Amino acid sequence: MYTFIRKRRKEAVTDYARRVRLLKGGRNRLVIRRSNRGIIAQAIRYSVDGDMTISTARSEELRKLGWMPRRNTPTAYLTGMALARKLKGKPDDYVLDMGVHNPAKASVLFAAALGAADNGLKLLNNIEFDRERLSGKHIADYLSKAKEGTQFSAYRKEGIDAAKMEKLFEETKKKLSE
């Protein structure tokens, strides 16, 4: 078992000091992780027998609402909103758990936490975030200037142009807040 712990610490997969501090608080955790293909937000309750997942929201679930998920700020915000929607009626406090990621003001992890907080989830953390980035305006601006074959060309393949992006974001946000 100790080799497993040393291996996870060496690979920077788990920050055990931070994890112990979070668990000692006895609060439920809002765990947000970024994968290669999307965003995962989970509400976790600590138990002596092992952590218990209360609810999970994945960015892929946003396809049903008309949003094309990516690993970007608007998708993270909407994923946080989706988790808070699933947790409606469960009046618990949550502490943000970002794992080994360092807090950054424009992080997609903070965008997901802000989305959860905006949709009614009670977070005990203070989150500072530039709200102009939430709707994807910065992506739409780049998309309108970018040439074919660039980093955002997948949006064009799916028929999403700069003008549609912000409107699509607002429609999806409205569906999640209902």
Answer yes or no: is pLDDT of 18 > 80. no
Q: Which domains does the chain have, with CATH numbers?
A: 12-130 (3.30.420.100)
Taking the C-alpha atoms of residue 30 and residue 32, their distance in angstroms, rounded to an integer, is: 6
Model confidence band, residue 101 (pLDDT cutoffs 50, 70, 90): confident
Answer yes or no: is pLDDT of 30 > 90. yes
Pick from 44, 23, 22: nearest CA to 32: 44
Single pTM value for the model: 0.86
Write down the mean pLDDT value for the chain.
Answer: 84
DSSP structure class, residue 143: H
Neighbours of 40 (CB within 10 A): 18
In this structure, of 28-37, 41-50, 74-83, 162-171, the range with the lowest mean pLDDT score is 162-171
Tokens representing residue 57 in the block: 């929201």
Q: What is the pLDDT of residue 153?
A: 66
Q: Kindly list the distances between the CA atom of residue 40 and the CA atoms of 36, 37, 65, in Å, as whole numbers in the listed order.
A: 11, 10, 17
